[in-house]
């Protein structure tokens, strides 16, 4: 009689740990993507690739995972870059994805862009 309750608690704890791992990975992916985008000469595609690489480490990848960069075109005049990572939780759960179906995990990171110096003599 207590075994089903025990299994429910164990599987629930495992799934909550998985959600926490995905949350931290999404935060890290957004940060790494933003770090890649703030470098002079970087493109939005490079930032998306850097974030996608971090997500694939824990097995969160696929067409349903959205990595967006704002602004879409990073110009020299761009002062800050925001990278947003969205993960549909129901598609990436391990044990009980039916309970998390419809939930979307969204994390963003905004960083100021680095500026190129006009000449090395400015030091």
Above pLDDT 70, what percent of the chain? 86
3-state secondary structure of 120: helix
At residue 99, the 3 state secondary structure works out as coil
pLDDT at 123: 52
Q: Whole-model pTM? A: 0.81
In the chain, the DSSP E strands lie at 66-70, 80-88, 104-112
The owner of tokens 């608690």 is 9
Cβ count within 10 A of residue 7: 10
Residue 49 has pLDDT above 80, yes or no: yes
Cα(40)–Cα(70) distance, integer angstroms? 16
Return the minimum-mean-pLDDT range out of 47-51, 73-77, 81-85.
73-77
What is the structure's pLDDT at 122?
54
Q: What is the pLDDT of residue 96?
A: 62
């Amino acid at each position: 009689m207590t075994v089903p309750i025990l299994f429910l608690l164990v599987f629930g704890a495992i799934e909550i740990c998985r959600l926490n791992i995905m949350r931290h990975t999404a935060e890290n992916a957004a940060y790494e993507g933003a770090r890649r985008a703030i470098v002079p000469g970087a493109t939005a595609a490079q930032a998306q690739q850097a974030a996608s690489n971090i997500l694939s480490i824990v097995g969160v990848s696929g067409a349903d995972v959205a990595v967006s960069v704002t602004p879409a075109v990073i110009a020299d005049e761009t002062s800050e870059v925001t990278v947003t990572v969205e993960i549909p939780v129901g598609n990436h759960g391990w044990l009980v994805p039916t309970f998390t179906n419809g939930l979307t995990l969204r994390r963003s990171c905004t960083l100021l862009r680095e500026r190129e110096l006009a000449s090395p003599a400015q030091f």
